[in-house]
Amino acid sequence: MSTLKKRIDSFRFAFKGLADLFISQPNARIHGVATIIALILGGILGLSKIEWCLIILCIFAVLAAEAFNTALEYLTDLVSPEYHVLAGKTKDVAAAGVLLTAFGSFIIGTIIYLPKVLTYLNVH
């Protein structure tokens, strides 16, 4: 198989995984809606380049964390189809990683958006 074909296939597989993420995971869809809201709000409020960079970084960090969590859940289900304490802990800790990333992103979003929203609404 040619190197170019391998590269193209790797992108195809990645997009297949991305589709699976949003089709199979309700939380990924929630993050997707939050992404759309953040982008629209950022456009309305006129974020600076640095603020956009931080928001985009947060968006992709949360989505990547959700993807890693889903991959770990799939792998855990494969290797431990029956309940096992460590399998449960693996899933819980992976989910905690998503939660931590989402909380951090929420804090950053609040720091960036709240003052702008208050100014936009003429609230002091």
Phi then psi dihedrals of residue 10, to 5 deg: -65, -40
pLDDT for res 2? 86
Per-residue pLDDT of 91-117, as tens digits, reads 999 999 999 999 999 999 999 999 999
pLDDT for res 108? 98
Task: Tell me: pLDDT of 123 over 80.
Answer: no
What mean pLDDT do residues 58-68 have? 98
pLDDT for res 22? 97
- Run of H or E residues at 114: helix 85-120
Domain formed by 27-120, architecture: Orthogonal Bundle (1.10)
CA distances from 35 to 89, 106, 120 (A): 29, 11, 20
What mean pLDDT do residues 39-57 have? 98
**Cα end-to-end span (Å), the chain:** 63
